[in-house]
Amino acid sequence: MKTYSQRPMDVQRTWYLIDAATAPLGRVATTAASLLLGKAKPTVTPHTDGGDFVIIVNAENTVTTGGKADKKLYYRYSGYPGGLYSRTLKEQQQQDPTVILRQAVRGMLPDNKLRQGRLDRLKIYVGTEHNHSAQKPEKIDLKGSR
């Protein structure tokens, strides 16, 4: 019996839609990362990018628990001495809420050469409108999951 190894030409990609306002930030990010990796498929192969496309809507209504809105910090560095800037989650949400979800999902993907290609398949929108309705994305319901 031979072991199956997926090839890039055999990958079948589907589109999924996740509403960020229905579940906490961590649950949305883990679900998105799992779909981007292709973990739910029986043909998952670690060295081949066999994941799907993920659309996340309502990024401005991301749910956080505890005191994360005031305690969690987002850093950026200009490259110069004294050029380290930080923002709280609440400030980042007002500035650009897509960064919060993108960094959460990025941190849950393995750090290898396939990461950027997987992140390119992640589409994050601030409102409920997205321009991928032609792909007929399948809606993922995170309310019912534990």
pLDDT of residue 75: 96
Q: How do residues 47-81 score in pLDDT, each as one tens digit? A: 999 999 999 999 999 999 999 999 999 999 999 99
Percent of the chain with pLDDT over 70: 98
pLDDT of residue 144: 61
pLDDT of residue 128: 95
Q: Are 21 and 58 in contact (CB under 8 A)?
A: yes
Q: What residue ranges define each of the domains in the chain, with the CATH number in brackets?
A: 13-140 (3.90.1180.10)
The residues of the chain scoring below 70 in pLDDT are 144-146
d(CA 101, CA 87) in angstroms, rounded, equals 15
